[in-house]
A and B are shown apart, each in its own frame.
Chain A
């Protein structure tokens, strides 16, 4: 599986670290909304298909990336720097 880092180009997946589901929305730190915190910690879509994910190119430029990966075929549909804050194009 190759992930194309926006800085380094195509690299083997072994250079990357999975940082979790990219659909999570962290509540404000002072929030007392237990449902929102519960959703943030436990609720996952677990789709069979395109999935928004956060990866870090930990064995290269160390940038955090927004990646859309197909969970059935492992095809990488898009990659972008996470810094922009935009959600990727997968199912959310």
Chain B
């Protein structure tokens, strides 16, 4: 197959993306905000009863093994996967072209594949106060026992739907609709001012 020439993707955050330290950072920077810009963001869904086959396909294609249970997930640095609804999973890869790897494998009998790479924006919040800032935004429990490493959650902030994955003890990746991403980003920056934040 000929190599596809994809147009360079522009960030929707750009006009409001200002690298450097901001807010109340005299006593240190307590959260770091960044856009991770993964090349592939996919939504996979299994028909009822086909969940285990889809999980097996995800393991074969990405090398990531989903743990049992609602909202379970895992990440390996370049790739991440988590459940966000019954029988539905978000799969992320730093590289483009993950949809092509799944396309022939997820047959119509098993489920569906939706490529959201251009439809979602991935924002990372990390640092000792990441839980604190997230707790101001979302009415869910961000403590490590309730929200374990790798796990995913679906929730929303003022009607902006968000999928959240914990990718570190004090690090979360947030996936929001691209069209709302700049508004969400500005709100997240404002919320981080009190603890001092750095944009990377």
- A residues within 8 Å of B by Cβ? 6-9, 11-12, 14-15, 59-63, 81, 83
Residue contacts A-B, CB under 8 angstroms, 14 given: A7-B85, A8-B71, A8-B153, A8-B155, A11-B139, A11-B140, A12-B139, A14-B139, A15-B155, A60-B85, A60-B154, A60-B155, A61-B84, A63-B85
Residues of B within 8 A of A14 (CB): 139
> Is there a chain A Cβ closer than 8 Å to B161's Cβ?
yes
Assembled-state Cα–Cα distance A6/B85 (Å)? 10
B139 touches A8 (CB 8 A): no
Partner of A83, one of B48, B88, B155, B159: B48
Is the interface on chain B under 10, 10 to 19, 20 to 34, or 35 or more residues?
Answer: 10 to 19
Closest A residue to B156 by CB, please name it: A59
Contact residues in B for A15 (Cβ distance below 8 Å): 139, 155-156
Whether B86 lies near A63 (C-beta < 8 A) is: yes
B156 touches A61 (CB 8 A): no
Q: How far is the CB of B65 from chain A (nearest CB, A)?
A: 20
B95: CB under 8 A from chain A?
A: no
Q: Which residues of B contact A81 (CB under 8 A)?
A: 86
B155: which A residues are within 8 A, CB to CB? 8, 11, 15, 59-60
**Interface contact A7-B86, CB-CB below 8 Å:** yes
Given A7-B70, A7-B71, A8-B71, is A61 in contact with B86 using a C-beta cutoff of 8 Å?
yes
Pairwise interchain contact A61-B85, C-beta atoms closer than 8 A: yes
In the bound complex, CA of A8 to CA of B84 (Å) = 8
Give Cα A2–Cα B159 distance, bound, in whole angstroms: 18
Which of chain B's residues has its CB closest to A63's CB?
A: B86
A9 to B155, CA, bound (A): 11
Bound together, the chains give a CA A50 to CA B140 distance in angstroms of 27
CB proximity of A86 to chain B, nearest CB, Å: 15
B65-109 interface bits toward A, Cβ cutoff 8 Å, 1 = contact, 0 = none: 000001100000000000011101000000000000000000000
Expressed in whole angstroms, the minimum distance between the Cβ of A74 and any Cβ of chain B is 17
How long is the Cα–Cα vector from A8 to B83 in the complex, in angstroms?
Answer: 10
Across the two chains, which residue of chain A brings its CB closest to B48? A83
How far does the Cβ of B3 sit from chain A's closest Cβ, in whole Å? 36
Identify the closest chain A residue to B157 (Cβ): A59
A62 near B85: Cβ-Cβ < 8 Å: yes
Chain A residues in 8 Å Cβ range of B156:
15, 59-60
Contact B154 A8 (CB under 8 A): yes
Contacts of A6 in B (CB 8 A): 70
B153 cross-chain contacts in A, Cβ below 8 A? 8
CB distance from A25 to the nearest CB of B (A): 23
Residues of A within 8 A of B139 (CB): 11-12, 14-15
